[in-house]
Amino acid sequence: MSIVYLNGAYMEASEAKISPMDRGFLFGDGIYEVIPTHQGKGVGLGLHLKRMENGLRSIGVEFDAEPLKQVIAELLEKNDGDDLNVYIQVSRGTYEKRFHGFPDKVEPTVFAYTWQIGPAHVADKAQAHTLKVVTADDLRWQRCHIKSTSLLGNVLHFQQSYGEGYDETLLFNGDGNLTEGSSSNAYIVKDGVVYTPPLSDELLPGITRKILLTILAEHSDIKVVERAVSKQEVLDADEIWMTSASKEVGPVIQVDGQKVGSGEIGDVWLKAQTLYSKHCYDIDC
């Protein structure tokens, strides 16, 4: 049984209790992070905590995430694993009645737990987990840059692919341009150049995205262009990648039943994942 953290205390997961009046439960009124750790080191730990503070500020909750570093260190020790994901959720808190407006005096609820994941990915075409994806109109809300726990839109989009045996759903906005995946950022590669949608309220500013783009700029001559990417460009791409804390740089080999490029993992992916594996711990706040 894993040891979790709830509002200042560590306990068995089965002992952690949150009121049904918590606004995270009633409204999805909270912010979360998922941070991968390997051999006790968090990938982009400071960046994740900074995004959490920014997300909370954008919903009117002032919160200092710095003390969570200690919480994470203790959870890693108590759960005794080399490869653990850390989930942290901060909701606005529990209030005596259900009312849409923000309550005046309420303490945020802070919950964190870990679970075992595989080792850090290996930059090897033979060992990479390839992704088969489907496309869909992006029907989520207009503030996708906030890492909100209100994830029903993402959950429904994910199920569109998962329910049919695929790995992820690529989403397109009203102009027919790529936004991201239901739980990951998206990229295409054409003639050796990487294209990815620029940050906006249509997509999450992924920490893996930030780390990857920084590494590619600092350690490679691979050109990355942040601009709108049309559906046709996605279908004609040589390579497609999806990134997230768990996927790292995930190579997509099929979209809507059609091969991506040759249908094999691409060479630009190999360079990108190789550099990511080498430098991902160097890039932080």
Phi and psi at residue 53, to the nearest 5°: -60, -45
Per CB under 6 A, 154 contacts ligand PDD: yes
Take residue 180 and report the two structure tokens written for it. Answer: 């991201």
**Would residue 147 show up in a list of annotated catalytic residues for this protein?**
yes
Contacts by 93-96, CB closer than 8 A, 24 or more apart? 93/22, 93/23, 94/18, 94/19, 94/21, 94/22, 94/23, 95/21, 95/23, 96/21
Residue of 75, 243, 251, 266 that binds ligand PDD (CB under 6 A): 243
Would you count residue 249 as binding ligand PDD (CB under 6 A)? no
Question: Which residues of the chain form beta strands (DSSP E)?
Answer: 3-6, 9-12, 30-38, 41-42, 83-91, 109-116, 131-137, 168-172, 178-181, 185-190, 193-196, 224-226, 239-244, 248-255, 258-259
204 scored as a contact of ligand PDD (CB under 6 A)? yes
- Tokens describing residue 57: 């500020």
Q: Nearest 10 degrees: CA dihedral of 9, 11, 16, 18? A: 0
Which residue among 97, 147, 231, 247 is the active-site one? Answer: 147
CA distance 207 to 9: 28
Q: Binding residue for ligand PDD (CB under 6 A) from 68, 207, 237, 268?
A: 207
Binding of ligand PDD by 245 (CB under 6 A): yes
Binder of ligand PDD out of 206, 250, 251, 266 (CB under 6 A)? 206
**208 lies in the site for ligand PDD, by CB under 6 A:** yes
Is 179 a binding residue for ligand PDD by CB under 6 A? The answer is no
Residue 98 or 143: the one with the smaller Cβ distance to ligand PDD is 143
55 or 93: CB nearest ligand PDD: 55
Backbone angles phi, psi at 143, to 5 degrees: -130, 55
Q: Which stretch binds ligand PDD (CB under 6 A): 70-78, 104-112, 180-188, 261-269?
A: 180-188
Piece in contact with ligand PDD (CB under 6 A), picked from 93-101, 107-115, 162-170, 244-252:
244-252
> By CB under 6 A, is residue 184 in contact with ligand PDD?
yes
In whole angstroms, give the CA distance from residue 89 to residue 28: 11
Nearer to ligand PDD, 109 or 208 (CB): 208
CA dihedral over 223, 227, 233, 239, signed as positive or negative: positive
- CA 13 – CA 30 distance, rounded (Å): 20
**Least Å from the CB of residue 242 to ligand PDD:** 9
One of 3, 4, 31, 34 touching ligand PDD (CB under 6 A): 34
Residues with a known catalytic role: 147
Q: Which residues bind ligand PDD (CB under 6 A)?
A: 34, 154, 180, 183-185, 204, 206-209, 243-246
